[in-house]
Structure 1
Amino acid sequence: MQWDSAAYLQFGAERTQPSVDLVKRIELERPRKLLDVGCGPGNSTQVLADTFPNALRIIGIDSSPEMIETAKGDHPDMEFRILDASALPSLGENDFDVVFSNACLQWVPDHPRVLRDMLALLRPGGVLAVQLPMNYEEPIHQIIKGLAASDDWRAELADARTFHTLRQEDYFDILAAETGGFQMWQTTYLHRLPSHEAIMDWYKGTGLRPYLSLLSEDRARIFERAVLEEIVKRYPKQRNGEIIFRFPRFFFTASPKA
């Protein structure tokens, strides 16, 4: 599945805000070596660089060549590598002060293993900081899931990539067993979008891609129209014509065991 950095960055400010909020909870005065797991086009990596200007090295990794190409072009002074988050031991480095990941791990299977791998990259006293979308009960996901399972689409979309996010209770148990201490919280962002079409544009950059990638061009357009019709029904307009687009996100920070 290919990623489109331009589509992703169409809502760059909204997608970057959780990184800004997460990095504020990293309670280290002068971290020197940082890793951004699932850096995308480099917007979250830039947040790390702006917050910790004295850092000696900040490395961004992503499995998407398209995203890494954009990141290198937009941030030529930073270090980026193509690497899947499920293969962190192959990075060949450790002793990071911070391992950071914003809206990436939902695409990666086996979170107990991945989180152990992330913690293993930290030096003693380092910080793991993670944000995951937790919006699967919101209308947009229910619309897409329901259509994909319907008679009209089931045969074509049966192999659509699923998200790997666990329950918050599961993350609690993993972190309680694997870390020296942790904090968890959730924030629901109320994004102001100008139209129902803007919700479609948002999801064509992320959550719709596993579905659209399995369809022909004509069938993809039909599926998009079907999704938009349901969006119009489920997301009412405000008096000024804008749409409130709710987006819950789950955060945690943790430190490795001593």
Structure 2
Amino acid sequence: MSAHRWDPDQYLGYADERGRPFVELLARVDADGPADVVDLGCGPGNLTALLAQRWPGAAVTGVDSSPEMVEAARGLGLDGVRFEVADLRDWLAGPTGRVDVLVSNATLQWVPGHLDLLPALVDAVRPGGRLAFQVPGNFDEPSHTIRTELAARAPYAEHTAGVAVPSSHDPVVYLDALSALGCEVDAWETTYLHVLRGDDPVFTWVTGTGARPTLQALPDDVRPAFEEELRGRLAEAYPVRGDGTVVLPFRRVFAVARTAA
């Protein structure tokens, strides 16, 4: 999760679109007066701020494996919110006590085999608390398949083998897994139609998230050719509409679990 570097400014280029699933996830977390709230994979902290607004009496902690993201989050100067650099797997394995609300937004997809982490995530929540997460579910869309196809070709494949690639499961998989752990589960999916503007907006979107590890794995003398072909193929897959916009369909998968009391 930390082998590549994130750019908070580039990530925030579509802050409203990226933040909407978090807001809708948070709306389904029916926790009253939690004392401890943790955001695993907090990114640049702009969404962690919403947790502090929702529960002003709680001690809120944001955790992210990217030093760049945590530096940006700390720069927000949020009262009552603490940020720390840690891989979520290390955080779960550490001496941290249980919390009332544990949130993870668009992070678990980067953890290989993250279904195996669900017992530890549930165990990190106090009885009757809430575990809430959201992951992308659009990995069969051109925004991902084009990158995968290109990365498997010469001369790129020798550099991209083993690079971090996100993945997730259907809502029913999370529902079944969390229910088996004794949780009361609300799981669902939503496909957003993001209306984007600007030059090559889908290219800009993916290079800030899913394609970023692949691009960073390529040497400087190889990367430009990859970027040029990726940009061109994405432009074909997501054509500009008559009003100058581009529509990016984006499926998201959500789960909110209430742990056994």
- Give me the TM-score of the superposition, normalised by structure 1: 0.94
1:79 paired to 2:121: no
1:249 to 231, 249, 252: 252
Letter in 2 for 1:74: L
Q: Distance in 2 between matches of 1:3 and 1:214?
A: 13
What amino acid is aligned across from residue 42 of structure 1 in structure 2?
G
CA distance in 2, matches of 1:75, 1:169: 39
The structure 1 residue matched to 2:43, chosen from 25, 40, 43, is 40
Percent sequence identity is: 37
Aligned residues of 2:137 and 2:169 also touching (Cα < 8 A) = no
User: What is the aligned partner in structure 1 of residue 8 from structure 2?
Assistant: 5
* Inter-partner Cα distance in structure 2 for 1:106 and 1:164: 5
- Give the drift of 1:51: 1.7
Q: Counterparts in 2 of 1:1-258, with a 5 A limit?
A: 1-55=4-58, 57-77=59-79, 78-195=81-198, 197-258=200-261
Distance 1:155 1:95 in 2: 43
User: Contact 2:36–2:100 (CA<8 Å) still a contact in 1?
Assistant: yes
Unaligned ranges ≥5, structure 1: none
Give the 3-state SS of the residue equivalent to 1:207 in structure 2.
Answer: coil
Separation in 2, partners of 1:170, 1:26: 20
Residue type at the aligned position of 2:73: A
Indicate the larger mover: 221-230 or 92-101. 92-101
1:202 maps to amino acid: W
Higher mean displacement: 29-38 or 191-200:
191-200
* Cα distance in 1 between the residues matched to 2:53 and 2:65: 24
Q: Distance in 1 between matches of 2:27 and 2:20?
A: 11
Q: 1:43 to 1:91 in 2, by over 3 A?
A: farther
The Cα RMSD (Å) is: 1.6
Question: Equivalents in 2 of 1:52, 1:154: separation in Å?
Answer: 47
Name the aligned partner's letter for residue 244 of structure 1: V
Q: Name the CA distance, whole Å, in 1 between partners of 2:206 and 2:46.
A: 18
How far 1:179 moved relative to its partner?
Answer: 3.1
CA offsets, 1:84-140, max 9 Å, x none? 111233442223110001000111123233221111111111000000011101111
Separation (CA, whole Å) in 2 of partners of 1:250 and 1:139: 18
Quote the offset at 1:167 in angstroms.
4.0
1:46 counterpart SS class = helix
Partner SS state of residue 11, structure 1:
helix
CA contact (8 A) 2:49 2:78 kept: no
Alpha-carbon distance, 1:238 to partner: 1.5
Q: Is the 8 A contact 1:129 1:252 kept in 2?
A: yes
Contact 1:126 1:256 in 2 (8 A): yes
Of stretches 110-119 and 85-94 in structure 1, the one that deviates more from structure 2 is 85-94
SS in 2 for 1:179: coil
- Measured after TM superposition, the shift of residue 164 of structure 1 is 4.0
1:146 CA drift (Å) = 1.1
Larger displacement relative to structure 2 (31-40 or 190-199): 190-199
